[in-house]
Amino acid sequence: MSVVPHRRWIARAVVGLLAAVVCSGIAGAIDDDVVLDAGPDEAGMRQPHLIDLGGNFDANLFEQHGNGWVLRSGPGQEPPGPRPSPALERARELGRKRIDRMAAACALTAEQQRRLALAVESDARRFAHEVEAIRTPYIGRQIDMNDQAGQKAWHAFQQDVAKCRDRLRNVFHEGSLFAAATASILDDRQQASLAAEDEARRSFQWRAMVLETMSKLDESLGLDQRQSDAISAELLAHEPPLRNDPQALGRIDSNMRRQLVLMVLAELDAKPLRNAVSERQWRVLSLQMNQGRAMRSAIEAQGLLEKPR
């Protein structure tokens, strides 16, 4: 096993690795509501307490990549005339990217790509139909966040968007026509190539998360080279079933990556970890591990790990 770099070099390695990881280019989650004022209303005065639910629905489902909430104030500005379904457009985009990645990994034929594209279109249309049934009642609907009814409506709105976010994360996964088509269209060699590429991506992402977290642990614990190597080796030997999907990775901000690593660390045999550090370091490390352990339900709820079969 390669020796994990340390101190100054580890920081440079983390930056380089994370720059190449899919999730690094995607904005992290926002923990609290963020109010972004819209333009002035017809009277020329801002009314930040008025919220257009239609515009906020699209912003939180299609623009907000994290698990927080963007709250845009002011009246909505729905363009006149028919408009393509944003749910259909987003699902098609994700499907095209998935096929492109598969083509690069296992040399799909033109016919295979055509058949997979048909499956993508079917799943995308089903997804759009489900989302539009939830989204449509919010179009043109305004609420006043200054009254109780408006706050209650916003809470119900968040629940509906959360359902659609979960559906978007799973649109091409187990139970989809695309997943079934992939299993039947690809031959054994292609299946093996795709599985190997997925495993390589997953391992690379996990190594990057470990390096990033170890740099933080080094700062808080004052680890020496031997201690850093021992903890890193345990982590790299117990790679979690990361969900190899840009939709899932887009949910992982720096704090969530750290909590994920600490969660895995907390679930390992504590004896070798405790033997690797001093009593003082163990007290600090165990507290951080407990925080990671408590995040498992949140991590699973966000679809960051593959579901056990």
Give me the mean pLDDT over the 267-290 stretch: 94
- Among 155, 161, 158, CA closest to 134: 161
Burial of 227 (0-12, 13-18, 19+ CB in 10 A): buried
Dihedrals φ, ψ of 72, to 5°?
Answer: -100, 125
**183, amino acid identity:** A
For the cut 90, the answer to whether the pLDDT of residue 226 exceeds it is yes
C-alpha–C-alpha distance, residues 249 and 209, integer Å: 12
C-alpha–C-alpha distance, residues 269 and 147, integer Å: 52
**What value does the CA radius of gyration of the chain take, rounded to a whole number of Å?**
23
For the cut 90, the answer to whether the pLDDT of residue 235 exceeds it is yes
Please name the residue that has the structure tokens 């994700």: 94
What's the confidence (pLDDT) of residue 124?
97
Longest Cα separation, the chain:
69
Q: Which of 6-20, 183-197, 231-245 has the lowest mean pLDDT?
A: 6-20
If you average pLDDT over every residue of the chain, what do you get? 82
Q: How many other C-beta atoms lie within 10 A of the C-beta of residue 306?
A: 16
Please name the residue that has the structure tokens 């259909």: 88
C-alpha–C-alpha distance, residues 112 and 120, integer Å: 12
275 versus 34: the higher-pLDDT residue is: 275
Over the stretch 82-118, which tens digit does the pLDDT of each residue have?
A: 677 899 999 999 999 999 999 999 999 999 999 999 9
Answer yes or no: are the C-beta atoms of 113 and 103 closer than 8 Å. Answer: yes
- Among 88, 160, 149, 143, CA closest to 120: 88
For the cut 60, the answer to whether the pLDDT of residue 78 exceeds it is no
What's the confidence (pLDDT) of residue 132?
95
For the cut 70, the answer to whether the pLDDT of residue 159 exceeds it is yes
C-alpha–C-alpha distance, residues 256 and 262, integer Å: 10
Q: Which of 15-29, 177-191, 230-244, 270-284 has the lowest mean pLDDT?
A: 15-29
All residues at 6 or more sequence positions from 256 whose CB lies less than 8 Å from its CB, including other chains:
28, 29, 295, 299, 302, 304
Annotate the chain with three-state secondary structure: CCCCCCHHHHHHHHHHHHHHCHHHHCCCCCCCCEEEECCCCCCCCCCCCEEEHHHHHHHHHHHCCCCCCEEEEECCCCCCCCCCCHHHHHHHHHHHHHHHHHHHHHCCCHHHHHHHHHHHHHHHHHHHHHHHHHHHHHCCCEEECCCHHHHHHHHHHHHHHHHHHHHHHCCCCCCCHHHHHHHHHCCHHHHHHHHHHHHHHHHHHHHHHHHHHHHHHHHHHCCCHHHHHHHHHHHHCCCCCECCCHHHHCCCCHHHHHHHHHHHHHCCCHHHHHHHCCHHHHHHHHHHHHHHHHCHHHHHHCCCECCCC
Over the stretch 188-222, which tens digit does the pLDDT of each residue have?
A: 999 999 999 989 988 999 999 999 999 999 989 99
Dihedrals φ, ψ of 71, to 5°?
Answer: -120, 105
Token pair belonging to 47 = 């009314």
What percentage of the chain reaches a pLDDT higher than 70? 78
